[in-house]
Amino acid sequence: MKHLYLNLKRFDVPVEFGGVNRIAPVTDWGKYIVEHTQEGLKKYDPAEAEFVQYFPEAHILGAVAARCEHSPVQVGSQSVYRMNTAVGGNFGAFTTNRPASIVRAMGCTSTIIGHCEERNDKMGVLAEAGVTDTAAVNRLLNQEIRLAIQQGLTVLYCIGEKSEEQEQWQQVLGDQLKIGLDGVDPSKVVIAYEPIWSIGPGKTPAGKEYITKIARFVKEQTGGLDVVYGGGLKVDNAEMLASIDEIDGGLIALTRFQGEIGFYPEEYLEIIKTYLGK
């Protein structure tokens, strides 16, 4: 089974507000993306590939409602909160936060947890309180993963090392896996590897040999969990990533990096076609 994920980040923000959304009004954005991708994805055997699209919370209902009968598109959320509602317990005192229960109630089947941007945010908050222990971030993410799975969601768990952590990559990634997955049902988790040190303008992308090495390490540490490339699956690297036996898919974000930068459904489908070879 190949896993093709889409992290739509905050690509919903219109250009006039500093964003990259040129494809649809904000009110219709989630609906537009599902409607313009699900028909193209129907040609793939659901036993061979799954397609999950992670939306900002405001667009989940529109995306779910746009799914046609037997749609190959699964809708997911961008993480969940580390506490949840409970019968006889907290029934909704979560201002600004996203408990797993509402994510499930809105129709999501999956969530992405531990993306480098989420890790950076948590680390920044902790640093303001004088906490510099990265294990604290992994413990918080573990709470999110546990609650997501308890609510019936599958989890795409992101791990990765920064430039200053490269010499200790085994320790860094090993801790992210050991702590983050402590007490977690592994059958509900796929790992996304983000080579943070290689992501961004002017940086050298991770090569096939390095990605293969990391994927093998992750599989050894987790007892063979599926591993996808989380550093950005795109047309330029799709064939290379598809040639790595240890890689089980990828995480797509932007589809266009020059000119009118942004996410475009037709280019997303082209990336998938290139990766799957059909």
Whether 128 is catalytic: no
Catalytic hit among 35, 50, 118, 194: 194
The number of residues in the chain equals 278
The backbone torsions φ and ψ at residue 107, rounded to the nearest 5 degrees and listed phi first, read 110, 10
Neighbours of 27 (CB within 10 A): 11
Give me the helix-helix angle, 208-222 and 169-180, nearest 10°: 40
DSSP 63-107: HHHT--TT-SEEEEES---SS---TTS-SS--TT---HHHHHHTT
40: left (phi over 0), alpha (psi -120 to 50) or beta: alpha
Please give the Cα distance from 252 to 254 (Å, whole number): 7
Tokens 């797509």 belong to 252
Neighbours of 95 (CB within 10 A): 5
E-only strand ranges, the chain: 2-7, 49-55, 73-77, 110-113, 154-159, 189-193, 227-229, 249-252
Catalytic hit among 3, 115, 118, 161: 115
- Residue 250, token pair as written in the block: 């990828």
Residues whose CB falls within 8 Å of the CB of residue 131, separated by 6 or more in sequence, listed in order:
none
Whether 3 is catalytic: no
Give the max Cα distance, the chain. Answer: 53
What 3-state class would DSSP assign to 201? coil
Task: Give catalytic residue positions.
Answer: 115, 194
